Each structure stands twice: as C-alpha cells, then as structure tokens.
Amino acid sequence: MSHWMFNCKEVSRRVSESMDRNLPLYHRMLIWMHLLMCKYCTRFRRQVKMLRELCTSHRLDENSPDPDVTLSSDACGRIREALKSSSP
Amino acid sequence: MTQTAENFSVADPDLDPETWVDRYGDYLYRFAVARIKDQAVAEDLVQETFLAALRGRKSFKGRSTVKTWLSAILKHKIVDYLRKKYREQTTSDTDTITDTVDGFFHKNGSWKIRPEQWNLDPSKIYEQREFMDTLFKCLAELPDRQSKAFMLRELEGYSTKEICNALGISPTNSWVMLYRARMFLRRCLEIFWFNKTKEENS
C-alpha cells in the first residue's frame, strides 16, 4: 500500500474507527479521496452508518419506557426475600 | 475523594440493599421490560441485578450514583440474556460468512466480497420487528466479546472508554473488535435480511 493512498481494506477499517473516535485530518483526507473513486467503500460506509441509525432508533424507543409499568407486589416480595437470604 | 460502600453504607441509605427494591425496583423493571418485552424475564433480571450489586457492593466507589451503577449491571445482564436467547435459536446458516476480515478482501486489499446495494429505507426497516430479530441472531454468531462490544456501543451508546472499562480491553482493541463486528454484521444482514427482502419483493 502506498503511504499516500489507502486500499479498500484500510478504508473500511478507518471508516469503522471514525465512528468511534476522531481520526487525524490526514487520514480523513485519504479516506475521502478513496471514497470519491470507490463505490464499494462508499456503500460500506453508508451501510455501517445505517446500521448505527437503526440501533439508535431502537435504543431511543427503548429509552422511553411506559411509566405505568411497575413491579408487582409479589415480585417485590420475592426480590426482597432473595436479597435478605443472600445478605452476609 | 471517592468513598467505598463500607464507608458510607450507614450514612447513605442508597447503599442499603433493603431500600433498593423501593427506590430502584420499578425504574430497573421498566428499563428491562422495554428491552426484553417479557415481564417474567425482566423480573428475574432485576433480581439478578440486585444480587450482583449486593455481591459487588464493596467495589462500588461512589463515582456514579447508585441508580447509574445498578443500571450498568442490568444492561450487562440484558446483553447476556439476549445473546443467550438468540444463540439458542441460531442455525449454522451463518457458517458461510467469513469470520475473518481478511476473508472479505483480496491480498492487494481490494474487496473480494463486495458490499451489495441495499435499496431500502431505514425508517421502514425499523418498523419491522423482524429486522431487530435478524440483527440479534447475527450478533449471537459473533465471538462473545465482539458482540458485547457492539451491543454496548450501538445499542447502549457506550463510549470507547466505557467499553474498555466494561470489557477490560484497550481502546485500540475495542476499535478492532467493533470493526470486525461491523464487517460480519453488515454481511450477515445483507444475506439474511436485505437479500431475503429483495427476493420477497421481486
């Protein structure tokens, strides 16, 4: 691999990494140059971002739980008992 | 200054296990029901969370609130439960997917298994519960730590630092794990969701 050019394997790794941390400007430029020329890496990037989008919507949906849902008194009793019997 | 549980167990009623069910029971239960959709399992996970917290009480350093600490334990329990559940359901269909990154590329670094076109609107996919089922089935096929890293990152929104703390790995290691997970999951969804949907629509 030339130092001034990333191949597809390298780009896919960096694209994934860019979703978890900020990459140096130099690397971002090399990725951008590669993406201009490579439809498969562009597709890869779009798809892993879509995967994140889907997981995020799933998470946001789950993070607004129904306030009316509560533990039954039976369950509370059971859990208290379990805690008591496991207490040192 | 950080405090250990023992230092302030008397002063801080939050750390008295007897108060946990009243204070946090409903909150944790709602959280679990929203993710698991099964009330009996959610109750069990809340109980397991409290018991794990009781056992690990001494290691609680007071850097976060008790609520955050208990939520973190519950999240791990949920991730473990989902992995186990979907692992039991999986078949060997995914064996055809290469499990190494190298398998996706030629020696010169160009794509050997090229990403295919996904002609679907993400907002519509999300409406279909089956999509998340397929994702969880694909996740269950990944090695434990890779799948856990992905779930904590994308489904729980953990930062790199939080993932490293939870799994006891380095940041570089976490990025490699997430990369491998994304490579595998992208392909797995392509085969078991996108291609299948394409066939059904054609």
Average pLDDT, chain A: 89
| pLDDT value, residue A5 | 86
Q: Which of B70, B110, B139 to mutate to test the interface with A (most CBs of A within 10 A)?
A: B110
Residue B171 contacts A, CB cutoff 8 Å: yes
**Hey, which residues 43-72 in chain B have their CB within 8 Å of chain A?**
43, 46-47, 50-51, 54-55
Which chain A residues touch B117 with a CB distance below 8 Å?
A: 43
A86 and B131 within 8 Å at the Cβ level: the answer is: no
* Inter-residue contact A1 to B109 (CB < 8 Å): yes
* Inter-residue contact A15 to A45 (CB < 8 Å): yes
**Least CB-CB distance to B17: which of A12, A52, A83?**
A83
CA-to-CA distance for B164 and A67, rounded, in angstroms?
32
Same structural domain, B166 and B73: no
How is B109-169 classified by DSSP, letter by letter?
SSBSSPPPP----HHHHHT-HHHHHHHHHHHHTS-HHHHHHHIIIIIS---HHHHHHHHT-
B29 and A69 within 8 Å at the Cβ level: the answer is: yes
Same structural domain, B74 and B96: no
Please say if the pLDDT value at position A14 is more than 70. Answer: yes
| pLDDT value, residue B37 | 79
Please say if the pLDDT value at position A4 is more than 50. Answer: yes
Choose the final residue of a domain: B34, B59, B89.
Answer: B89
Contacts of B7 (CB under 8 A, 6+ apart): none
How is B47-85 classified by DSSP, letter by letter?
HHHHHHHHHTGGG--SSS-HHHHHHHHHHHHHHHHHHHH
CATH code, B80: 1.10.1740.10
Residue B35 contacts A, CB cutoff 8 Å: yes
Which chain B residues touch A9 with a CB distance below 8 Å?
A: 101, 104-105, 109-110
CATH code, B191: 1.10.10.10
**Least CB-CB distance to A86: which of B18, B30, B54?**
B54
Q: Tell me the nearest-neighbour CA distance from A86 into chain B, angstroms.
A: 7
Same structural domain, B116 and B194: yes
Please say if the pLDDT value at position A13 is more than 90. Answer: yes
Give bridge partners of residue B105 from the DSSP assignment.
B111
Choose the final residue of a domain: B89, B111, B141.
Answer: B89
ipTM above 0.90, yes or no: no
Same structural domain, B137 and B191: yes
| pLDDT value, residue B12 | 63
A8 and B110 within 8 Å at the Cβ level: the answer is: yes
- The count of structural domains within chain B is 2
Same structural domain, B120 and B80: no
- B139 or A3: whose pLDDT is higher? B139
Handedness of CA A71, B126, B167, B85 (dihedral sign): positive
CA-to-CA distance for A10 and A80, rounded, in angstroms?
53
Q: What's the one-letter identity of residue A9? A: K
For residue range A39-73, list pLDDT tens digits in order: 999 999 999 999 998 888 877 666 666 778 899 99
List chain B pLDDT tens, one digit each, 202 residues.
344 444 334 346 667 788 899 999 999 999 898 888 789 999 999 999 999 999 988 777 777 788 888 988 998 898 889 888 877 766 556 666 766 889 999 999 999 999 998 877 766 766 667 788 888 889 888 888 899 999 999 988 899 999 999 899 999 999 999 999 999 999 999 988 877 666 665 5
Same structural domain, B85 and B96: no
Choose the final residue of a domain: B42, B69, B89.
Answer: B89
Whether the pTM exceeds 0.90: the reply is no
**Least CB-CB distance to A47: which of B115, B175, B179?**
B115
Report the candidate in B6, B119, B83, B173 with the shortest Cα–Cα distance to residue A47.
B119
Same structural domain, B96 and B85: no
Same structural domain, B173 and B155: yes
CA-to-CA distance for B161 and B48, rounded, in angstroms?
25
Q: Tell me the nearest-neighbour CA distance from B130 into chain A, angstroms.
A: 12
Supply the range of the domain harboring residue B15: 1-89
Same structural domain, B166 and B185: yes
Which chain B residues touch A86 with a CB distance below 8 Å?
A: 51, 54-55
Confidence of residue A34 (pLDDT cuts 50, 70, 90): very high
| pLDDT value, residue B4 | 42
CA-to-CA distance for A49 and A65, rounded, in angstroms?
26
Residue B131 contacts A, CB cutoff 8 Å: yes
Q: Write down the residue that tokens 């089935």 correspond to.
A: B137
Same structural domain, B113 and B178: yes
